[in-house]
Amino acid sequence: MRLIVEKMDDEVFVYLESEQQYFENETARLDEGSRRLPPALLREECDLSIYASGVHWVFNVNAEGVEDDEDEECCDEATEDFDCDESRCVRDCPRRRESR
């Protein structure tokens, strides 16, 4: 299972996806312009109101609980692409997902 935290149109959505759903939906999220951010970013700043819309985080859920997704490589480009102000990294990346 995967735990997805997604900010879209200034609203935050948190949901679980099976592995099959995750692989299908992750491709759609990225194609629609969502930026996958590293889970470590939430450890630095967990106030989701500071993040622009159009971002998401992915966590693995297993019998022991929730852990960071092992695939951190996917996030390197997204992290580098964010403009940093004095204390936080945010990016204005509006998008709209019509169906879910």
Alpha-carbon span 67 to 65, nearest angstrom? 7
| Distance of alpha carbon 74 from the chain centroid | 11
pLDDT in tens, 17-29: 999 999 999 999 9
Q: What DSSP element (H or E) covers 92?
A: none
pLDDT in tens, 45-97: 889 999 999 999 999 988 776 665 545 445 544 444 444 343 334 433 333 33
Specify the pLDDT at position 68.
58
Cα angle 56, 1, 58 (rounded to 5 degrees) comes to 15
Domains of the chain: which residue ranges?
A: 2-90
Q: What is the pTM of this model?
A: 0.66
